[in-house]
Amino acid sequence: MKVLRLATSAAEGVLTFVPEPKSPHGVDVTPDGEDIVVGGKLDTHGTVFSFAKIKAQIDAGKFESKDPYGVPVLSFKDSIRGQVELGLGPLHTQFDDKGNAYTSLFLETVVAKWSVKDLKVIDKLSTHYNIGHLVAAEGDTIHPDGKYLIAMNKWALDRFTKVGPLLPQNFQLVDLTGQKMTLLYDMPIPLGEPHYAQMIKADKLHPIDVYTPGEDPILGAKSPDAVEPGKERVERRADGVHVYMTAIRSHFTPDIIRANEGDTVHLHIDNLEQAYDATHGFAINSYNINISIEPGEHSDITFVADKAGVFPLYCTEFCSALHLEMAGYLLVEPKAGASGDPAAKTAALPAAPVAPEKP
Ligand SMILES: [Cu+2]
């Protein structure tokens, strides 16, 4: 990553500092783009900086001091429009469509609703407990939606059935339509509180239903190793064993993979389905391989077959009534002389006859 060093930034005049009272946390720009709200965390205020005031000082070359690297520092009082007395531990701020801001107060465990124009608190809503981030509907944009907010709380004690020492995070849905905030719903989720999550209207989403056949989602294009139906094969090359495999309800082709102990195995698997939601999985548990292959998707997996033996491979999505039959075997022949006992080698292969892989 290319970076501008502090000395260069100071010399070129592209960086300016502005002081903040104590331990700044969230930095959020108001929907009109005119102010920056900084949550003080160890200060009881939200400080509202004015872009216009900051810009005027920079344009006039009016600086209070310089930091040790030579970066100019602005005057605090000449940079702010004002401060709002919020309470204990202000972190992050979101906005609605009526000129209000909503700041999470971590220590006080509340959401504070306040007027951006008047810098006055209008309402506080208790959360359970220790709110971190919060997200309002399109509340980070120039056109906030204003109807809902989710408080993302780090602690959840006293709230849900006890099942052991590990508790979920509690997400609380809040109605913003009235003057006072109303708690609508608690949702425990087994996931750390996301940072700067976004809530957007569903009609903004236009996802694809299925991948075009052979598409590698990382390339965003057809994979050079895409596998066409009927052209499944196994190729032994200088860099290892390449398996070109297809998956469709409910069969892997080929369903027997033969390798020698120590071989590098390259699996190229295409889900041939073009039906929406016809997802397959592919797992070789003993080799710690477990992937999801969505309809049309091409996947590549490379691993070293360093354990001799017979290992089941199977689909992990309940894809049809024959899902349990969507399985096969990886056969890894022991290195010659590895065990010294030909009987051991025989024991490693399945007793039942195995159809040879397709050419
Ligand atoms: Cu399946």
pLDDT tens-digit map of 303-333: 999 999 999 999 999 999 999 999 999 999 9
Average pLDDT over every residue of 42-68 = 95
Considering the domain architecture, whether residues 166 and 232 belong to the same structural domain is answered as no
The pLDDT of residue 40 is 84
pLDDT tens-digit map of 252-306: 999 999 999 999 999 999 999 999 999 999 999 999 999 999 999 999 999 999 9
Last residue of a domain, one of 174, 204, 234: 204
Considering the domain architecture, whether residues 158 and 254 belong to the same structural domain is answered as no
Retrieve residue 280's tokens: 């397959």
The pLDDT of residue 351 is 44
The owner of tokens 């056969």 is 331
CA of 324 relative to ligand 1 center, distance in Å:
8
Range of the domain at 98: 6-204
Neighbours of ion ligand 1 (CB under 5 A): 280, 315, 319, 326
CA of 248 relative to ligand 1 center, distance in Å:
7
CA of 199 relative to ligand 1 center, distance in Å:
33
Q: What is the DSSP string of 64-111?
A: SEE-TTS-EE--STTTEEEEEE--S-EEEEEE-TTSEEEEEETTTTEE
According to DSSP, the residues that pair with 170 across neighbouring strands are: 153, 188
Q: What is the percent of the chain where pLDDT is above 70?
A: 94
Residue 358: pLDDT band with limits 50, 70, 90: low
Residue 336: pLDDT band with limits 50, 70, 90: confident
Last residue of a domain, one of 204, 233, 252: 204
CA of 271 relative to ligand 1 center, distance in Å:
9
Does 357 fall in a domain?
no
Considering the domain architecture, whether residues 161 and 80 belong to the same structural domain is answered as yes
The owner of tokens 């209207």 is 201
CA of 301 relative to ligand 1 center, distance in Å:
17
Task: Report the amino acid identity of residue 232.
Answer: E
CATH of the domain at 157: 2.130.10.10
CA of 322 relative to ligand 1 center, distance in Å:
8
pLDDT tens-digit map of 64-95: 999 998 999 999 999 999 999 999 999 999 99
CATH of the domain at 263: 2.60.40.420
* Burial track 277-300 (b if 16+ CB lie within 10 A, e otherwise): ebbbbbbbeebebeeebbbbbbbe
Considering the domain architecture, whether residues 50 and 81 belong to the same structural domain is answered as yes
Average pLDDT over every residue of 345-349 = 47
Task: Report the amino acid identity of residue 267.
Answer: L
DSSP 199: B
Considering the domain architecture, whether residues 127 and 225 belong to the same structural domain is answered as no
CA of 221 relative to ligand 1 center, distance in Å:
23
CA of 327 relative to ligand 1 center, distance in Å:
9
CA of 269 relative to ligand 1 center, distance in Å:
12
Does 267 fall in a domain?
yes
The pLDDT of residue 256 is 97
CA of 305 relative to ligand 1 center, distance in Å:
24
CA of 294 relative to ligand 1 center, distance in Å:
10
Considering the domain architecture, whether residues 194 and 285 belong to the same structural domain is answered as no
Query: What does the alpha-carbon distance between residue 183 and residue 186 come to, in Å, rounded to a whole number?
Result: 8
The pLDDT of residue 21 is 87
CA of 316 relative to ligand 1 center, distance in Å:
7
Retrieve residue 55's tokens: 């810009």
CA of 314 relative to ligand 1 center, distance in Å:
8
How many structural domains are present in the chain? Answer: 2
CA of 274 relative to ligand 1 center, distance in Å:
13
The pLDDT of residue 338 is 57
Last residue of a domain, one of 204, 239, 273: 204
Does 353 fall in a domain?
no
The owner of tokens 């590990």 is 166
CA of 318 relative to ligand 1 center, distance in Å:
6
CA of 237 relative to ligand 1 center, distance in Å:
29
Considering the domain architecture, whether residues 17 and 147 belong to the same structural domain is answered as yes
Q: Which residues touch 324 (CB under 8 Å, ≥6 apart)?
A: none
